[in-house]
Structure 1
Amino acid sequence: MSRITLQQATTVITAAFAKAQELKLKPLGVVVLDAGGHVIAYHRQDGASTGRFQLAVGKAAGALFLGMSSRKIGDMAGERASFLSSLGPIAPSGVVPAAGGIIVVDAEGLAIGAVGISGDLSDMDEACAIAGIEAAGLRAQG
């Protein structure tokens, strides 16, 4: 598989929302990007704040931009703060250094897109992203 389809993106979002409901989370925004960082699909739950789109895209696009999950980017922030702060002008969709942005890979481990979620605690956002990816029959980068 070399790309994420709209149907798969919709499944990711639906399953992520189901996981959020199961965990009783705050309202989320979920975005699915293709490998080039373009939005395939985005939904925001009722009651989610207006910044959820930008934060979700920043998590997913930042993961694609640096080739690692937004959690790993956040872990790196303490040691390389000046590096991360320099990315603003060159990262077209931003880089948000908090868990919730997961790269989706094909069978060979090549990035085919990413999922970004914002709305609750970052760990919970990430759990919903992984649940959505798995529900769509896709693979999260290890």
Structure 2
Amino acid sequence: MTLSLHAAQSIIAGALDAARQRAAKPLAVVVLDAGGHPVAFAREDGASLFRFDIARAKAMGAIGMGDSTRVLAERAKGNPIFFQSVTAVVGGDVAFSPGGVLVRHAGAIVGAIGISGDTGDCDEECALAGLAAAGFSTESEQ
């Protein structure tokens, strides 16, 4: 399965709906396919300049490392030199903060969602809500 524009837009709509229900700060949300190509993106009014870049780096990090950015951030605590090296090797195209979550279909990675704008915890909660709203299983259900 490839990640369609319709599916990506549904993920974003669900994530932004969750953000408004939580009274989150303005978010940027990006959905990438498994190759790291942007499928859909939304930036809420008031989201600051770098939010797209951070959201994309969260999604790219999840795809590139094969796990959510929450898991990656935890791993980085125990091996900071390695993860600093990863950041340098990929030209900074990775962010080790919650909010980057893999999109899976039948267990296969088909893309990732990255969100930036509020706390990492809130960003991640909105990403998971977006996945659920679009009918995808969350990573914790894999």
**Higher helix fraction: Structure 1 or Structure 2?**
2
The aligned counterpart of 1:135 is: 133
Q: When the two structures are superposed, what TM-score results if normalisation uses the length of structure 2?
A: 0.94
The aligned amino acid for 2:105 is D
Per-residue Cα deviation, 1:109-139 (whole angstroms, up to 9, x for no partner): 1100000000001000000001111111122
Q: Which 5+ residue runs of structure 2 have no aligned equivalent? A: none
Shift of 1:15: 1.1
Q: When the two structures are superposed, what TM-score results if normalisation uses the length of structure 1?
A: 0.94
Runs of 4+ in structure 1 over 4 Å off = none
Alignment of 1:8-19 (within 5 A): 8-19=7-18
The aligned amino acid for 2:139 is Q
The aligned counterpart of 1:118 is: 116
The aligned counterpart of 1:85 is: 84
Q: Which 5+ residue runs of structure 1 have no aligned equivalent? A: none
The alignment-based identity, stated in percent, is: 42
Name the SS of the counterpart of 2:93 in structure 1. Answer: coil
Distance 1:140 1:30, change over 3 A: same
Asked if the contact 1:117–1:126 (Cα under 8 Å) also holds between the matched residues in 2, the reply is yes
The aligned counterpart of 1:71 is: 70
The answer on 1:61 being equivalent to 2:77 is no
Per-residue Cα deviation, 1:76-111 (whole angstroms, up to 9, x for no partner): 11111111111123326711111000001111x110
RMSD: 1.2
